[in-house]
Chain A
Amino acid sequence: MTESVLRVEGLKTELEGSGATVRAIDGVELDLRRGETFAIVGESGCGKSMTALSILRLLPETGRIVAGSVAMEGTELLSLPEAAMRGVRGRRIAMIFQEPATSLNPVLTVGTQVAEVLMRHAGLRGEAARRRALDLLDAVGVPDPARRLGEFPFQLSGGLKQRVMIAMALAGEPDLLIADEPTTALDVTIQAQVLDLLRALQRERGMSILLITHDLGIVARMAHRVAVMYAGQIVEMAERGRFFSAPQHPYTLKLFAALPGAGKRGGQLAVIPGQVPPLTGEFAACRFAERCEFAFDRCRSATPAWAALGEGHEVRCFLRETRRAEPLGSGRAPSAGPAGAPLASGESGAARAKPLLAVRDMKVHFPIRRGLLRRTVGHVRAVDGVRLDLAAGRTLALVGESGCGKTTVGKAILQLVRPSAGAVSFEGVELTALRGEALRKRRNEFQIIFQDPYASLNPRMRVADALGEGMMALGTETDHVAVERRIDELLAQVGLPREAKYRYPHEFSGGQRQRIAIARALAVRPKLIVCDEPTSALDVSVQAQILNLLKSLQRELGLAYLFITHNIAVVEYLAHDVAVMYLGRIVEAGGAEEVLRSPKHPYTQALLAAVPRIEAAGEEEFARLEGELPSPVNPPAGCHFHPRCPSATAKCREAYPEAVRLSPTHAVNCILYREQTNGG
């Protein structure tokens, strides 16, 4: 285990920005051993990906490596001529990227693309290359590989594409695989499959993996050693066990404390004040000092060197030099596990009796039109009979994998997409029956917050105009003075300075933009806000700020949230009730406690098991969900889940199971359960 495969020393990379040089990487040192998984964690912009690209010398045009050495088993990569470097890439070091959809050439078949790598690195051609490609696809668990070889990327799902990418990376039998956020674009169940695959391949081939991720859960599941990057530097490096049990750097501690989860339900999430310092200048102090609650004089006058704490645990912090490995009081233990504080209880009957929003048997079918006359030949059943209840002041989390129809449910409730059937009653008013002006009059009562803070604000509109738009359109404020006053009030509410109103969106960071989007939704005093993955595009520390904000707004204003997400940790932290969606239908619904602590539906169980958790570090085996989400054009007969269900019987294929009430609030659509029993 101690033989070094890759040794990086004093690596410095600069990016030529407009006007200023950005020191994207500023002295990174790491030492990768044979057969180990080394994880680099950090928030966006800290230089994780730049490190990977620098190792492979694949920097963008504006980037250049100014100092340091990258040695691969004694060969200095930085001084190799470009032609020799091409032999290293793919052959000795392979890389897989975040977005499988754009990493494969859409006009070449899978077979051609795998064969290309084989030809370059193994000199195989024709039948030999085909056989080897077959073996590779088989090795990465692509079902029916012979057929897949002749298919084009668009015919494969995201998970399969990522498997093909891994197969291509393996084609050169590399010693080192760099995986840059390999599962970020995938769903949790698919993510679990891909991570398992990577781990199995590593065991078989003794390959080293440099894993780049922002998800501490993935680190806990995959890594042998972990490095935390901040502002272009590694600030802490340790074995996995020590990293999770005794993290030392204040930044690492903050990262742990900012993670949402069941254990932090009652309170606020920790936030890191301030922002990452600009990387344009030379640092004369610790780069985290400005945001560190433990910072003292020395932190602001000198840069900390590595302090070794034993067992390979190293940290760049003056605190550690003075007080060796002594636990820092707050946030030492990573979040408490599922055994922690109780989740929200499912009752509170009074609120339940009078729901703010009641959705009954809602369907959204999109017609598929073909041919000259655009005849309807079928339907995409995006939402196929959904029932939801949401009371004022509560949060209902709608959970499910991408493509299950969660977002469509949100838009259909807001009547942005008109439901094809069913009822949406808001305070007793049937929204689906409202048209034109009547609907417009009620639009101020329900609003939406979107996922991507960059796409949700018009770049050509000032903040004040964006906030004022809804008030003007709906006439919620009487005059211009009132609008101006309301804008100031809103900005204060979401924690932005008043001057923000005359600025344009591009002047704000992602988290600030999401605050503006929240303020915009709040502007018309809604009672219900549909939050469509509002934090999934944000870093952990920023996510914590937004979740805190949403929580305090709910407390102050009595808002109801329909929280659409795939992030179970956020659900545990925020939700009162949970509904789990699969292929257009709710398969299980109930109080957060009931659904998350004792999931009944096999899908819910598999979904929760697939989430990588810090607490589960080292635990190995649990039920894996095979296969992928079927197409909503042609859902499986009977229970939609039966093709992937480990407990499926012949009966499951016959009819879609009715909802079974397990408690006044908990319902599940599965034949394994009967009314008022505790299930089998």
Chain B
Amino acid sequence: MAPLVLTAILMIVPLAAGTLFIALSRAMPVVLWTDALIFLLLAAMAAYFWYVRRHEHLAAPWRRVAASSVGMSALVVLLAFIAVGLIDSLHFRPRLAQPGAGGEDVHAVQVLSLLDELARGLRSRAERTYSAPLATRAYSKEMLELADGTQVRDFPRLAHGGAHLKDESGRSRDILARCLAALALALACWGVLAAVLAAALARRSRARFGDTWRALLGARTRVPWRAMLITAGVLLAVAFPAAALSARYHVLGTDKVGQDVLYLALKSIRTGLVIGTLTTLVMLPLSVLLGIMAGYFRGWIDDLIQYAYTTLNSIPAVLLIAAAVLMVQVQIDTHPELFPTAAQRADLRLLFLCIILGLTSWTGLARLLRGEALKLRELEYIQAAHAFGVSHARIITRHILPNVMHLVLIALVMDFSGLVLAEAVLSYVGVGVDPSTISFGTMINAARMEMAREPMVWWALLAAFTFMFVMVLAANLFADAVRDAFDPRLRMGN
């Protein structure tokens, strides 16, 4: 269960730091709807794992997950994304410099997140328009007035990208030097991380540090710590140079209005995570309750529920979602007084998108659970419970639900990546998130025009694609590990 503790630390540290920062800077904390739900979800997960730790039969499959090197490496990547998403979920309204008339604190109308604060440089160093990754000059020629008053048509220098360079020919060397310095720092951090890990492991198993260290390097530990360390090392080796370069350059270029694409990609992570997790939160009670009820009670209840989801399934999902989103949008637009800030309005729309997606996607899991409940209700321990006169509610909660939880869990993890992709598709079609919300979908939507330009602007699409790909791949690999560990049919031969 050690990876769980590690996960908990990774989650709690940034959250605590963020809260502290908000309190110290006397900003006004803002809890958006999705923030609240995310924290609720975190609390639920923490409670679940705390419960699992105390129950051997529940902990055993998680232990198998923890022993899978692919799964755990994917988890490391996923955790990095989740950490970014969580930092981006602490919202506040910064305090303005000059106090109000009565000396009280006045707060800006703009809602920022901790990520915005940390990436203030990225956010504020905007260019006028497109610039390629790591460029020092703009992407298209403009009329420039030289010092002597003559006008030439040339690529202008960027306001921020590489502005510190006196001589642009030194750019490569500068980049290389910064990268190397960052890599050295990354290596040092990684070494510290590995040493701390080995020390912690040694302390826990009461072994000598040297032995633990050798076991770690030889991949002889039960939890694949070496694979996880290597993944973390790769992540650090990418993140540190990117961070170092982003102080002086636009690592992934800028978009049409000159915003740093790296910043956009980082902001998109939260949107994807919110859609992927909150949707399941909406979907879960529906599919679990209705699916089990249909299978357990059969008869007219089964007919009714089956009829409901067959009908729902026969309507094209995109149409249904589009109709619902448009209705919500009209409601939001006609009641501007309900939303003090633009961020809150965008957030509510995001939440409704989750709810709508949840309402349209519960059918798959419900059908699966119906089949399982149909099978379980004929099992002898359920018959024995009937013979004891145990009530239906109790049979469902004590006998059926615990025996379908592995299916629910597998479905949850597998659905996550599908939902992240669904958001991108819906936003591309224009029925997804609010246009002011930064998401992979809106980035890709914008890229539609950019790809048609001459010369082509490729970096925004590439950045969105890479970030989404890595996140979904990590989620899928982790989901595979979970399924392998939980699905009894896949566990042949042990």
Contacts and interface: CB of A to CB of B under 8 A. Distances in A.
B384 A520 contact: yes
Nearest to A506: B57
A321 interface: no
B384 A439 contact: no
A524 interface: yes
Given A455-B380, A455-B381, A473-B394, A416 B386 contact: yes
A470 B380 contact: no
B387 A416 contact: yes
A470 B388 CA distance: 5
B54 interface: no
Given A16-B493, A461-B398, A504-B57, A456 B389 contact: no
Given A18-B494, A455-B381, A448 B398 contact: no
A623 B259 CA distance: 94
Given A458-B381, A473-B394, A506-B57, A62 B388 contact: no
Given A459-B403, A461-B398, A504-B56, A440 B389 contact: yes
A417 B362 CA distance: 33
B390 interface: yes
Contacts of B178: none
B466 interface: no
Interface in A429-452: 439-440, 443-444, 446-448, 450-452
Contacts of B386: 416
B389 A448 contact: no
Contacts of A150: none
Nearest to B303: A374
A243 B57 CA distance: 46
A253 interface: no
Please tell me the size bucket of the interface on A: 35 or more
A95 interface: no
B230 interface: no
Given A460-B57, A504-B56, A17 B494 contact: yes
A469 interface: yes
Interface string B365-380: 0000000000000011
Given A448-B383, A450-B380, A450-B384, A460 B403 contact: yes
Nearest to B383: A416
Contacts of B315: none
A18 B57 CA distance: 17
A448 B384 contact: yes
Interface residues of B, number: 22
Nearest to B402: A460
B36 interface: no
Contact of A62 (B379, B380, B402, B493): B493
A474 B388 contact: yes
B399 A458 contact: yes
Contact of B387 (A448, A458, A459, A504): A448
A414 interface: yes
B493 A61 contact: yes
B385 interface: yes
A456 B381 contact: yes
A60 interface: yes
Contacts of A62: 493-494
B331 interface: no
B297 to A, nearest CB: 16
A473 to B, nearest CB: 4
**Interface SS, B side:** helix
Interface string A488-516: 00000000000000001010000000000
Q: Max chain A CB contacts within 10 Å: which of B383, B385, B389, B494? A: B389
Q: Max chain A CB contacts within 10 Å: which of B386, B387, B391? A: B387
Interface in A369-426: 411, 414, 416
B492 interface: yes
A196 B394 CA distance: 51
Contacts of B380: 450-452, 455-456
A272 interface: no
B439 to A, nearest CB: 40
B381 A457 contact: yes
Interface string B272-292: 000000000000000000000
A469 B57 CA distance: 20
Contacts of B402: 458, 460-461
Q: Max chain B CB contacts within 10 Å: which of A61, A443, A469, A524? A: A469
A22 to B, nearest CB: 11
Interface string A452-480: 10011111110000100110011000000
A414 B383 CA distance: 10
Nearest to A453: B380
A458 B492 contact: no
A455 B381 CA distance: 6
Contact of A414 (B387, B398, B493): B387
Contacts of A439: 389
A451 B388 CA distance: 18
B383 A469 contact: no
Given A469-B390, A473-B390, A456 B384 contact: yes
Contacts of B57: 459-460, 504, 506
Contacts of A444: 388
A398 B49 CA distance: 49
B388 A473 contact: yes
B52 to A, nearest CB: 12
A473 B494 contact: no
Interface in A519-544: 520-521, 524
Contacts of B383: 411, 416, 448, 450
A169 to B, nearest CB: 26
Given A60-B493, A458-B399, A473 B384 contact: no
Contacts of A18: 494
Contact of A443 (B388, B399, B494): B388
A443 B389 contact: yes
A570 to B, nearest CB: 19
Interface string A237-272: 000000000000000000000000000000000000
A78 B390 CA distance: 57
B388 A469 contact: yes
Contacts of B379: 455-456
Contacts of B403: 458-460
Given A455-B380, A456-B380, A469 B389 contact: no
A517 B494 CA distance: 26
A208 B261 CA distance: 77
B163 to A, nearest CB: 61
B494 A447 contact: no
A439 B389 CA distance: 8
B464 to A, nearest CB: 42
B197 to A, nearest CB: 25
Interface string A29-68: 0000000000000000000000000000000111000000
A15 B494 CA distance: 9
Contacts of B387: 414, 416, 443, 446-448
A439 to B, nearest CB: 7
6 contacts: A17-B493, A444-B388, A450-B380, A456-B384, A504-B56, A504-B57
The 4 closest A-B pairs by CB, nearest first: A470-B388, A18-B494, A440-B389, A456-B380
Given A455-B381, A458-B403, A520-B384, 8 more contacts: A443-B389, A450-B380, A455-B380, A456-B380, A461-B398, A469-B390, A474-B388, A474-B389
